[in-house]
Structure 1
Amino acid sequence: MREVDVVGVRVEMPSNQPIVLLREVDGERFVPIWIGAVEATAIAFAQQGVIPPRPLTHDLMRDVLEATGQRLDEVRIVDVKDGVFHALLVFASGVEVSARPSDSIALALRTGTKVLVADAVLEEAGIAVPEEEDDEVERFREFLDQITPEDFERPVED
């Protein structure tokens, strides 16, 4: 099992399908997992620190865990079968509960729980991006964030 960071939620084009992107902490692989729009919103809210006026489902789960004295120790993404990822919620008591990775990640972000991915899943679904390329992609993203369409207008020649 390898620990991963939750990079964030992106929308894959042209299908407009949300994905959550995970990055290996001590490596160069990324794992994209296609998820639903509701779960994408829940993950994005947690990453941005958005507190809804009423608890969302994942907030409620966190609150139930706290109220009952349970602690979520790990979220494990353990398998991928026919393109479908499978996860486990691992509690301090030793209890393991099968869950969708998107729900598991949304809960992990709310509880400060680490997310792990099985080596076999990384081998099958991981995409290696060398650090130099990642830096170049990040610089390109920063460039895109700072430009406007007007920057591409050519002066009119007489």
Structure 2
Amino acid sequence: MEVEMKIRTLMMDPVTQMPIVVLRDLSGNTILPIWVGVYEANAIALEIEKINTPRPMTHDLIRTLLQGMDTKVNRIVVSDLKDDTFFAVIWLEKDGQLISIDSRPSDALAIALRTDSPIYVDENVLKNSRMSSSQEKGQGEELRRWLENLNEEDFGRYKM
């Protein structure tokens, strides 16, 4: 089973100073933080803030290629979590046929934003993420509690 989610915010981890994409389900009850690299965060931030670049970025190029091939992004799915690494699948639709493409979650999210495609997370990923975070000690658990208790005014902008 998959849970539809939206990108809630893009922020910096106060402990590691690495970017975090925070996904939240549509009911607002579940969050999933995914740590991403700086370049990937910038690609996501550019689209969130609707900043145009003088030349197409990689994810813009992918969107243009898909459009040129009359292929639609059906959805993206954060599909697995192994050894603290998230995995994703981009589901493409071409001539009524679904095609799955293995992807890093950060790339899948950047493409979903550019193609206005839905974002899903497999229920097992949410469950395993909670289990692994409940086993963490100290700062990891503190960060999770902090993320879960954030209010609208607490969200700062990711600075590129």
**Alpha-carbon distance, 1:84 to partner:** 0.2
User: Unaligned 5+ residue runs, structure 1?
Assistant: 145-158
What secondary structure sits across from 1:26 in the alignment? coil
Rounded Cα–Cα distance in structure 2 between residues aligned with 1:52 and 1:113: 21
Q: TM-score, normalised by structure 2?
A: 0.80
Larger radius of gyration: 1
How many residues align? The count is 139
* Structure 1 residue ranges, 4+ long, deviating more than 4 angstroms after superposition: 126-129
Who is 1:106 aligned against?
110
Rounded Cα–Cα distance in structure 2 between residues aligned with 1:32 and 1:43: 14
User: Unaligned 5+ residue runs, structure 2?
Assistant: 131-143
CA RMSD of superposed structures (Å):
2.2
Who is 1:156 aligned against?
none
Amino acid at match of 2:66: L
Rounded Cα–Cα distance in structure 2 between residues aligned with 1:24 and 1:123: 13
Rounded Cα–Cα distance in structure 1 between residues aligned with 2:92 and 2:16: 36
**Alpha-carbon distance, 1:128 to partner:** 8.1
Q: TM-score, normalised by structure 1?
A: 0.81
Percent identity over the alignment is 32
**Alpha-carbon distance, 1:138 to partner:** 2.8
